[in-house]
Amino acid sequence: MNRQIPKKALALLFCFLFLALCLPLPAATAADTAVFPYRVGDTLFYGSYPQSQVEEETLAKALDAISAEWTAYPYFAGSGKAGAMKKAAYAYYKDVTYKGVRYRGVMLKQYRPRYTFEAFPAKENAEQYNSGFELKKTYWFRFEPVEWIVLDPASGLLLSKNVLDAQPFSDTVYELQRETEEDGWSWTDTVACSDQAGLFPANRYESSTLRTWLNGPFYSTAFSKQQQARVAKRTLSTPDGDGETKTEDRVFLLSAADTENKAFLKENDWGEQENLLARASGTAYAAAQGLPWY
């Protein structure tokens, strides 16, 4: 019997980044609340990242006039078939400073595919176009402090309040045929892997390009050297088909168990228990990267 995995399961959707961060903060006790007053649900600012869009025409023109080199985003696009994706320089950015404030310019030459190996979409099917971004135009975004929600004051576990970016879980996806035998039955499975040798399932967090991006480009962009020195590593256990994998990361996505943690409930203004992980708003910069407009 031939078991086919649905295309939607193979085509890894963008991950909309509602990020967790571990800061090695001291535990908050009754004795030191004056020094460390944080409680679950409190917010604090740490690091900075492009977020709101520059709407003032005069400011945008001033930023356009600043000479700076464009850098290509390392994005992938394909033909709609697994294994066809290739890195494509179809979107660029540049960072400038004007009157003491940092800005990031973004220019799109093609609209970004929503799935890892899809082809460039027509504008009416592109998330970026639906969010108001046109091709070959420069859009500017302010670097602004990142707001974090305190989830665990003892360990310094923080969660970004807003969706800061949109990135694929895996840049590459390959479909491999594997024969399986069990209880006298045999069948062919179509398995999605992130490498051509089939060593890493495409949904394994340990080998995902998203994990590399979080602890590389995002980490170095969002935090200064001094701030990076305060961000602790956390050991993560991620279940998979073979048991679990352990990784050490400074920035990461919350696990399913994290999202069900009752310790992350906070009483709202109406006396109801609100899940701090239930919702988040996307930034304009995240929309420019492909966050769905809705």
Question: Residues 52-64: pLDDT tens digits?
Answer: 999 999 999 999 9
If we measure between CA atoms, which residue out of 254, 252, 248, 251 comes closest to residue 223? 251
Among 166, 164, 167, smallest CA distance to 283 is for 164
Per residue in 89-109, pLDDT tens? 889 999 999 999 999 999 999
**What's the one-letter identity of residue 132?**
G
Asked, for residue 293, whether it belongs to a domain, the answer is no
Domain span at residue 209 reads 2-288
Per-residue pLDDT, 157: 87
Q: Is the pLDDT at 4 greater than 50, yes or no?
A: no
Could you read off the pLDDT of 131-181 as tens digits, one per residue?
999 999 999 999 999 999 888 888 888 889 999 999 989 999 998 888 878
Task: List CB contacts of 93: < 8 A, sequence separation 6 or more.
Answer: 70, 71, 73, 104, 105, 106, 107
- Domain assignment of residue 44, yes or no: yes
What gap in Å lies between CA 150 and CA 32, rounded to an integer?
A: 17
pLDDT for position 136: 96
252: closest CA among 288, 294, 289, 219? 219
**Residues in a beta bridge with 236:** 247
pLDDT at 126: 92
pLDDT at 63: 98
Residue-level pLDDT at 245? 83
- φ and ψ of 28, to 5 deg: -90, 115
Domain membership flag for residue 195: yes
The reply to whether 99 falls in a domain is yes
**Band of residue 10 on the pLDDT scale cut at 50, 70, 90:** very low
* Mean pLDDT score, 202-223: 92
In a domain? residue 294: no
- Report the alpha-carbon angle 149-154-158, nearest 5: 20
156 dihedral zone (left: phi>0; alpha: psi -120 to 50; beta): left
Burial class of residue 206, CB neighbours in 10 A (0-12, 13-18, 19+): middle
Q: Is residue 25 part of a domain?
A: yes
Number of domains present in the structure of the chain: 1
175 lies in a domain? yes
What residue type is 239 in one-letter code? P
Say what the pTM is. Answer: 0.85
- How far is CA 114 from each of CA 32, 56, 66, 123, rounded to the nearest angstrom? 48, 30, 32, 12
The overall average pLDDT reported for the chain is 84
How far apart are the C-alpha atoms of 88 and 155, rounded to whole Å? 40
Phi and psi angles of residue 80, each rounded to the nearest 5 degrees, phi first: 100, -5
- Tell me whether residue 222 is in a domain: yes
